[in-house]
Amino acid sequence: MRLMALLASVIAAASAAEPAADYVRSGNLEFVLRTHRALVAQKPSGNVFWSPASLQCALAVLGEGSRGGSAEEVAGVLRLSPFRGADSRFAALHALNRATAQHLGAPVPTEPAPDPDFPQRVFAYRQAGHLWVQQGFPIKSSFVDTLKASYGPEVLLSADFLANAEGERLKANAMMAIETEGLVPKALPQGFFDHRTRVAFADVVHMRADWDHPFNASFTRSEVFTAEGEGRVEVAMMNNHRHVRYAAFESDGRLFATPEMVPYANDDNDPRHYPSAGGYQVIRLGYYGGRASMLFVLPVGDGKLSAFEEALTAPKIDALLRTGQTFDCRLLLPRFKASADWNLVPALQKLGLESVFDRDRADLTGVASPPPPLYVSDFLQKGELEVNERGTIAAVVTAFGIAAGMGMADRTKPRPFKPRFFADHPFLYLVVDDVTGQVLFMGRVLRP
């Protein structure tokens, strides 16, 4: 209900053609799943980390500046419904992105540290947008105004790519290094700006989020993780008993009937309490402040993560995002870090976005008109993520450039079932906004 109330007020103000709440549960999840598969195809035997929310923001900006077939291709990648109404078809998406950034970025009330040995818990989320425009370039005011509405007036930055492209790149990287607290120190590689660049855009996301109930580091110990393609390896595994939202599903996506109570002498490892081969378990760990959470999706038994990913559908993801009840779970989760360094052009082309990268076919007349021939010269995403006993730290930069072409228990009674969620083999993870439903970060761990 909170989701619908928040989005209703934002979208009504935007007069968007497509309700954002519907998009979150349909087109957005299709976009997330299709893009994840395209990135996994580039690294089939490696860990994957990326930010759907940041890429979605960048694509919405590109879509706002596109016209004709190019706009249709951007909308197709985002899985937006056909245009209906007088406003931009990307209006609902801008409204959704604003709602997510405003909701997560609002200050979280502080509370005393629960224990003198633990630091004050933190939840901090920041999103910024930067639009660099070549001095004197006739950019459309309507395009700039749309970005100012989403990112604020500070989004617009004047640049001199013709005389000092490298200096502009170094300055941009220094600014975004500060915004990401040093996690992404060199977002734009050498050559990203050059004398042909006329416009560039970057979406910057940084999150520092402590668990609502942190893991005790003294319980972390070395455990065996069965890595796909590598066999058994030793990793640092966080260990805890805690109440979490838990659900289990059959291979076809049907909710598995997890028992709430079992005979006292019954073993929690009893396979009858878990889905059969091809099924999967899901837990949701909340962050301090109650605004976002991290989901871990674990195939049952020795199921291959790659096969599980191929069988995923948008309705299955929607179900795992919305389903679950609280259980006292025994948890084993590895500490891990992940990096993103994507040239997104091949993946976006595979998803159907082609014309914008072709100087002869790109239609970016929503950016400038009448322009010199414009096309997208680069499209990238860089970032870092760390998951540990305290919580999660993540930062991502998504950028594209536009160039000119030129008691004693009673053992006779049932007891509560305590599911085991042992992430000792490959798994998926998603960080989501619990109000808007946006998938902020996503990835896979084949080997921590």
List, in order of start, the domains of the chain with CATH numbers.
2-110+117-208+340-404 (3.30.497.10), 217-337+409-445 (2.30.39.10)
Report the residue count for the chain.
Answer: 448
Residue 164 binned pLDDT confidence (cut-offs 50, 70, 90): very high
Q: Compute the Cα dihedral for 353, 355, 359, 365 and give only its sign.
A: negative
The gap from C-alpha 104 to its chain's centroid, in whole angstroms, comes to 13
Q: What is the DSSP letter of 17?
A: S
Phi first, then psi, for residue 54 (nearest 5°) are -70, -40
Residue 17 binned pLDDT confidence (cut-offs 50, 70, 90): very low
Decide if 92 contacts 100 (C-beta within 8 A). no
Alpha helices in 186-322 (DSSP H): 305-311, 314-322
C-alpha dihedral, 420 to 422 to 425 to 429, nearest 10°:
100
- What is the arithmetic mean of pLDDT over 77-90? 72
Residue 25's pLDDT is what? 66
Angstrom CA distances, 300 to 69, 178, 264, 308, stand at 44, 41, 24, 10
Strands 391-404 and 197-210: antiparallel
Residue 91's pLDDT is what? 85
Q: What is the DSSP letter of 358?
A: -
d(CA 152, CA 199) in angstroms, rounded, equals 18
pLDDT at 354 exceeding the cut of 90: yes
Contacts of 302 (CB under 8 A, 6+ apart): 226, 425
Summarised one tens digit per residue, pLDDT across range 202-251 is 999 999 999 999 999 999 999 999 988 778 899 999 999 899 999 999 99
Decide if 296 contacts 429 (C-beta within 8 A). yes
Residue 116's pLDDT is what? 63
Residue 228's pLDDT is what? 83
Residue 85's pLDDT is what? 47
Residue 266's pLDDT is what? 87
Amino acid at 325: Q
pLDDT at 365 exceeding the cut of 90: yes
Residue 20's pLDDT is what? 61
Q: Compute the Cα dihedral for 336, 337, 341, 342 and give only its sign.
A: positive
Summarised one tens digit per residue, pLDDT across range 390-437 is 999 999 999 999 999 864 445 566 778 878 888 888 999 999 999 888
427: which strand partners?
445
Alpha helices in 152-297 (DSSP H): 161-179
Q: List strand residue ranges (DSSP E) for 335-438, in order.
A: 336-343, 374-387, 391-404, 415-416, 420-422, 427-433
Place of tokens 């993540």: 394
Residue 421's pLDDT is what? 83
Flag the least confident range among 16-20, 230-234, 364-368.
Answer: 16-20
C-alpha dihedral, 271 to 274 to 278 to 279, nearest 10°:
180
pLDDT above 90: percentage of residues in the chain = 72
Residue 10's pLDDT is what? 38
For residue 395 the two structure tokens come to 């930062």
Residue 114's pLDDT is what? 62
Q: Compute the Cα dihedral for 67, 68, 69, 73 and give only its sign.
A: positive
d(CA 353, CA 350) in angstroms, rounded, equals 7
d(CA 340, CA 345) in angstroms, rounded, equals 14
d(CA 27, CA 23) in angstroms, rounded, equals 5
Predicted structure pTM score? 0.90
444: which strand partners?
48, 428
Residue 405's pLDDT is what? 80
- What is the arithmetic mean of pLDDT over 311-327? 91
pLDDT at 270 exceeding the cut of 80: yes
d(CA 448, CA 439) in angstroms, rounded, equals 22
Residue 9 binned pLDDT confidence (cut-offs 50, 70, 90): very low
Angstrom CA distances, 422 to 195, 280, 352, stand at 53, 12, 38
